[in-house]
Structure 1
């Protein structure tokens, strides 16, 4: 009889462990590593039992250069505590349930207290230097990184061509490579001109490395301290109507960049290509003749391409989004 009650007790205890989860995430270990002086990618790969390319793809690194204070997702060993689930663990440590199962040879999601699991962070979607990501992934990437170039101006552009007609929902990298080829082979620039590209589906591509000033017809004064955002589409009135996904992305990443680089939305911190003279490269704002400037980022870009439109429609959206993001970070 005692044996029977012991078996029943163990069964009930087992059920309670699954029904009433506690928190994995009181475990103090972390898989975010902050780069220190003297760190190298080969050294970190050896330290965390991984490969250089794995670290690069996991963190969206466009080169082998590291900066002190930069944060990197790295593999880690995690010891299961009472109440843990694979879904909670994967969410807390930037992984997936399937990755944890595959890495640790698990046939199900069942885990037990004291079990040690190797957690490998998710890889980013990359081709060459291009990193394709969601808004949230871009936020993590941006705030994990350190940049040596002074950045005090965010440029807004539209591609004009390619437009929405050339976007097929899965050809992000093909479009980027096509733009790069045109910029290098036809325009004579060193790389793709823009640092960031946004797409109609709301995706973002980090394109030209941030520590390389953008190139293009806006001129050296704006480029030297600028981050160029190229928004895929022709946003002149009568052409592409911007999707809600792309609108949200443009506002969101502009807000993130303002927070990252300590900028307040104004004509001095967020600029439109339309405000710069086509030949002299001087900033003319709204004081120009039609043939002296481009319409970029479009006569239909968030209410128009004038400074009045930016102040009335675009800057308030960015300011509100900055407040939302800052509140969520705290």
Structure 2
């Protein structure tokens, strides 16, 4: 599939994703589309759950701010048909075998045609505004979101510090809070800068709300120009020091970085290029000017790293990163 083909399919997909679903009880994807006047409490009451559970099921960073057209996962009652198994139902409805069994008081995996089951979607792990997800959970989350900003590009970063040695396999929120503390108290920003952070084990954590532009990611020290540059942008931080000779990116994080970029391109109708997927290294952090590879005499960082998918030049991105993103877009679109 060529670039034009990908763009056309992406637009068709976006039209599909914005179609109002049927009532969740009859919807094979157990989603509810927020209507005018809805509150989380009202929706929770309708589907026999709590506002707290809906927040955790849907990774709601701002539960008091529901947007018309936003899609929420909700519990449903489902009547078993021939060929169903608990595993198949768990996969179809973003749940788990153990969760379905617990919700219905089942002591075995045996189910029968005509049996009515309550199916509750899996809850995500949250700490304040931060939401921990797998790649698959993030894909589902992203396509259910109502993004009110126009997104035309996103920027790849590496954290440099914290690096791999600071990640112990479970301290996601500790590292996220440390980054937020630095961004707010040291840099003077209103919140953590990035919308998304990828970790060495392939998981992601949501940070800054997607409907709020990043802060300080372009033209780091020039506060007068960054708002206009960042208005249509998203920022991705990849935990690790990916300058040559330092952290060797894990296969899981590599797959996540590629997948996240592909998902963003599909969601926002972007074609991978220097204009849509940009590296921090291509921007002068004093002036906010995009210098690309013409950085002599400019204040630039190596970010996202001199070893990031072969390097941090535009040639490296065109040869080593964008082709992987395009391939992943095709793979994702086929499954959708």
Shorter-chain TM range is 0.7 to 0.9
Residues 1:313 and 2:309 are matched in the alignment: no
Residue 46 of structure 1 corresponds to which residue in structure 2?
45
CA 1:83–1:318 in 2, change beyond 3 Å: closer, same or farther?
Answer: closer
User: Structure 1, residues 192-212: CA drift from partner, whole Å, max 9, x if none?
Assistant: 111000011111111111011
Match runs of 1:88-167 below 5 Å = 88-167=88-167
Residue 181 of structure 2 corresponds to which residue in structure 1?
181
Q: How far apart are the structure 2 equivalents of 1:109 and 1:317? A: 40
Residues 1:257 and 2:264 are matched in the alignment: yes
Q: How far apart are the structure 2 equivalents of 1:84 and 1:240? A: 45
Question: Alpha-carbon deviation of 1:124?
Answer: 1.0
Residues 1:298 and 2:305 are matched in the alignment: yes
User: Using CA pairs below 8 Å that are at least 6 residues apart, which structure has the higher relative contact order?
Assistant: 2
Question: Alpha-carbon deviation of 1:307?
Answer: 1.1
Residues 1:248 and 2:255 are matched in the alignment: yes
Residue 274 of structure 1 corresponds to which residue in structure 2?
281
Question: Alpha-carbon deviation of 1:139?
Answer: 0.7
CA 1:306–1:29 in 2, change beyond 3 Å: closer, same or farther?
Answer: closer
Secondary structure of the residue that 2:201 maps to in structure 1?
A: coil
Question: Alpha-carbon deviation of 1:113?
Answer: 3.1
CA 1:307–1:104 in 2, change beyond 3 Å: closer, same or farther?
Answer: same
Is this contact kept in 2: 1:217–1:281, CA < 8 A?
no
Question: Alpha-carbon deviation of 1:28?
Answer: 4.9
Is this contact kept in 2: 1:297–1:305, CA < 8 A?
yes
User: Structure 1, residues 103-162: CA drift from partner, whole Å, max 9, x if none?
Assistant: 122222223333322111110121111111111111100001111111111100010101
Residues paired across the two proteins, number: 303
Is this contact kept in 2: 1:132–1:205, CA < 8 A?
yes
Normalization by structure 1: what TM-score? 0.88
Q: How far apart are the structure 1 equivalents of 2:239 and 2:159? A: 5
Residues 1:79 and 2:86 are matched in the alignment: no
Structure 2 unmatched runs, 5+: 1-24, 220-225
Residue 192 of structure 1 corresponds to which residue in structure 2?
192
User: Structure 1, residues 252-277: CA drift from partner, whole Å, max 9, x if none?
Assistant: 10011011001111111111111111
User: Structure 1, residues 241-298: CA drift from partner, whole Å, max 9, x if none?
Assistant: 1111111111110011011001111111111111111211111111122662111111
Residue 210 of structure 1 corresponds to which residue in structure 2?
210
Is this contact kept in 1: 2:194–2:214, CA < 8 A?
yes
Secondary structure of the residue that 2:100 maps to in structure 1?
A: helix
Is this contact kept in 2: 1:153–1:222, CA < 8 A?
no
Residues 1:224 and 2:223 are matched in the alignment: no
Residues 1:323 and 2:330 are matched in the alignment: yes
What is the CA RMSD across the aligned residues, in angstroms?
Answer: 1.6
Structure 1 unmatched runs, 5+: 1-26
Residue 24 of structure 1 corresponds to which residue in structure 2?
none
Q: How far apart are the structure 1 equivalents of 2:128 and 2:311? A: 35
Secondary structure of the residue that 1:292 maps to in structure 2?
A: coil
User: Structure 1, residues 1-44: CA drift from partner, whole Å, max 9, x if none?
Assistant: xxxxxxxxxxxxxxxxxxxxxxxxxx955421122222221110
